[in-house]
Homo-oligomer: A and B are copies of this chain.
């Protein structure tokens, strides 16, 4: 009877399934620091975990060779840590896409569910899911879905706030995780693929007037920073 009795080596030989916690930390480090180093407090904040716990975990991640960590100086991902983080991100975004497209989830619902599922699902599941969804490159709010090899598909990144009066703008991405923000955009009809016409910017730039589906609307500067996409040179008629 094969009992789970393996003593943890310092350097893990094979692929002993990474714990949910470790996965969460790697994702958090990537989101906080991408390439640079993530501070203990920033991670504690992100993960809603007390700073001393984060400290301890960073040492552990260092032993696992997922991060390079120097006391008092934060942690940055190694190649292997980064690969794991991107794998998680791939899972998360594919699952979000699936829930949104096939199961009619709303923005409020999609994130938490994906957060759980991404830890439970096998690589096989993810690849079959990708096939099921016809290998999307971006999730429903336009975030790029990392490829199996870790490449991040290109994504237009000009802020709507940077466009100018008279220009047209094609939305590619809504740079927010907040459900209320995403719902608000959805209500306005602002979603990836949509073309907006900019009427004018309010003096001092706090507001932008635009045409969505030929309906005049106004958007605050803050929200206009979240909307990312491309300025259209030759506006479609």
Q: Is the CB of B122 within 8 A of A116?
A: yes
Q: How close is A121's CB to chain B, nearest CB, in angstroms? A: 7
Q: Is the CB of B109 within 8 A of A116?
A: no
For chain A, what secondary structure do more than half of its interface residues adopt (helix, strand, loop), or is it mixed? helix
Interface residues in A10-53 (C-beta closer than 8 Å to B): 48, 50
Interface residues in A48-79 (C-beta closer than 8 Å to B): 48, 50
CB-CB under 8 A for A120 and B119, given A3-B50, A132-B103: yes
Q: Does A6 contact B (CB under 8 A)?
A: no
- Residues in B with CB closer than 8 Å to A102 are 132
* Smallest Cβ-Cβ distance to A119: which chain B residue: B120
Interface residues in A93-147 (C-beta closer than 8 Å to B): 99, 102-105, 109, 112-113, 116-117, 119-122, 124-125, 128-129, 132
* Smallest Cβ-Cβ distance to A104: which chain B residue: B128
CB-CB under 8 A for A116 and B124, given A1-B48, A132-B102: no
Interface size class of A (residues with CB under 8 A): 20 to 34
CB-CB under 8 A for A120 and B128, given A3-B48, A48-B1: no
Q: Is the CB of B117 within 8 A of A121?
A: yes
Q: Is the CB of A2 within 8 A of B125?
A: no
A125, B105: Cα distance in complex, Å: 9
Task: Give 27 pairs: A residue, B residue, CB < 8 Å, sorted on A.
Answer: A1-B48, A2-B48, A3-B48, A3-B50, A99-B125, A102-B132, A103-B125, A103-B128, A103-B129, A103-B132, A104-B128, A105-B128, A109-B124, A112-B122, A113-B121, A113-B122, A113-B124, A113-B125, A116-B120, A116-B121, A116-B122, A117-B117, A117-B120, A117-B121, A119-B120, A120-B120, A120-B121
A164, B2: Cα distance in complex, Å: 42
* Smallest Cβ-Cβ distance to A44: which chain B residue: B1
Closest 8 CB pairs of A and B: A120-B120, A103-B128, A116-B120, A117-B120, A113-B122, A113-B125, A103-B132, A1-B48
- Residues in B with CB closer than 8 Å to A2 are 48
A22, B84: Cα distance in complex, Å: 29
- Residues in B with CB closer than 8 Å to A132 are 102-103
Q: How close is A189's CB to chain B, nearest CB, in angstroms? A: 25
